[in-house]
Structure 1
Amino acid sequence: MLRPPLLLKNSKRSQGYLSYSIIGFAPSSSAAKVLSELKIQSETVARLLVFGTTTTD
């Protein structure tokens, strides 16, 4: 299993204290799934390039 960097975990933890959203853009669907397991909204880079938006827009 892929282990996300500590920076992602700390960023997610800080999100509750600050007023910003974190969206992870991953190169593959399996990498996006890892981000989702950390409760980080994620999209693939391909989706961003094709649709030009995220699902929250």
Structure 2
Amino acid sequence: MAQPKRKSSHSRAAKRATHKKLKNVPLTKCPNCGEYKLPHRVCPSCGYYGDREVLTPEE
């Protein structure tokens, strides 16, 4: 297999990898309050993760 003649710079390698970060993340509804949140994360509006309260929300 061919080897690169020179080291690719950080910016050039990062330009190639940007398509990995541009995907749409599906949002899910919180089972407790019904607000949309990122999957497998604590709900920012009510502080619940699944069926238990992890954080107390600040109001």
By the TM > 0.5 criterion, same fold? no
Per chain length, whose mean CA-contact separation is higher, i.e. which structure has more relative contact order (CA < 8 Å, sep 6+)?
1
* TM-score when normalising by structure 1: 0.24
Bigger CA radius of gyration: 2
* TM-score when normalising by structure 2: 0.24
